[in-house]
Amino acid sequence: MTLQPQHFLVETDWLEAHLGDPGLRVLDSTIAMTRQPDGGWQPTSGRDGFEKGHIPGAQFVDLMTELQDRTSRFAYALPTVADFEAKASALGIGPETQVVIYTAAVPWWATRLWWMFRVFGHERVAVLNGGLGKWQAEERSLTAASAAYPPADFRAAFQPALVADKAQVLAAVESGQGCVLNALSRQLFTGESDLGYARPGRIAGSELLPTLGFIDQKTGAYRPDADLAAAADGLGRGKDAEIISYCGGGIAATMNAFVLMKLGYRKVSVYDGSLAEWSADPAMPMETGEPG
């Protein structure tokens, strides 16, 4: 029987009930982030942890070495259509496959891969609510056994409306139209702390919607839709507003996009280059301090 398409969140009960379904592929996209003495963060692949124990049937996707544009000078840049098609096909993902993504660490690595699938035209993709942490807390099964599936034929249909570039962001800043949305903490937004990019602070004129406010810190699960909607309503933007989400490197920004799209916002894109690109260009305006 064909799985009913899931587009945003699936619960642990749902996933456990569907493990082994031939139309399902489960992907672990964990990257661990370790704070460094200089205040920056050091990413580490979650592959070792995956090999020690993972959700049965899951496959690991290493976003540190796979699914990024190897010609870009910016880490984690969106891969080419050909590279994404090849990787998705090798994972056994075809046009009717339901994909569920989880991480064992910060949740935006799951939304980053979710967003990639949406960018390349695959809508049967969802995130496991609460990730591996919630799965383990509920004492659900893990395995160290590897899983392999027959290759499929994934055909991408690139969705340009989901991706913003520097020129589009600058146009939004200069026109005052739309909403350029920062997904980071208030300390990073104001420039009180920084991530080691060329300049601290935020894109001039941008607004703040920190992603970690979407998560229940006790369970690791997303807060109820009413709470998410209340946070989004604080922007004062309608569901047809043009919103560009950014962060440091285009990762956390996908979590804002995920939540806003889940709530029914229809014109949400992610600035893939984010502050890594913007701050490196002295012609691009930035601000520090509190707005106003």
The band of 176, judged by pLDDT with boundaries at 50, 70 and 90, is confident
Task: Read off the pLDDT of residues 37-60 as tens digits, 9 standing for 90 and up.
Answer: 766 678 889 999 999 999 999 999
**Structural contact between residues 60 and 28, judged by C-beta atoms closer than 8 angstroms:** yes
Output the pLDDT for position 35.
73
Q: What is the pTM of this model?
A: 0.95
Q: How far is CA 191 from CA 44, 156, 196, 286, 287, in A?
A: 25, 39, 11, 10, 8
- The one-letter amino acid code at 131 reads G
Output the pLDDT for position 39.
61
Does residue 1 carry a pLDDT above 60? no
Per mean pLDDT, which range of 3-7, 219-223, 268-272 is the poorest? 3-7
| Cα 257 to Cα 101: distance, rounded to the nearest angstrom | 16
Does residue 220 carry a pLDDT above 90? yes
7 Rama class: left (phi>0) / alpha (psi -120 to 50) / beta: alpha
- Domains along the chain with CATH numbers: 9-158 (3.40.250.10), 161-287 (3.40.250.10)
Output the pLDDT for position 5.
87
The band of 155, judged by pLDDT with boundaries at 50, 70 and 90, is very high
Q: What is the mean pLDDT of the chain?
A: 94
**DSSP assigned state of 108:** H
Output the pLDDT for position 121.
98
Percent of the chain having pLDDT more than 90? 84
User: Can you spell out the DSSP letters for 164-230?
Assistant: E-HHHHHHHHHH--SEEEE-S-HHHHHTSS--SSSS-SEETT-EE--GGGGB-TTT-PBPPHHHHHH
What's the chain's Rg over C-alpha atoms? 19
Does residue 183 carry a pLDDT above 90? yes
Q: 3-state class of 36 per DSSP?
A: coil
Q: How far is CA 85 from the centre of its chain?
A: 19
Does residue 103 carry a pLDDT above 80? yes
3-state helix, strand, coil in the chain (%, to 5): 30, 20, 50
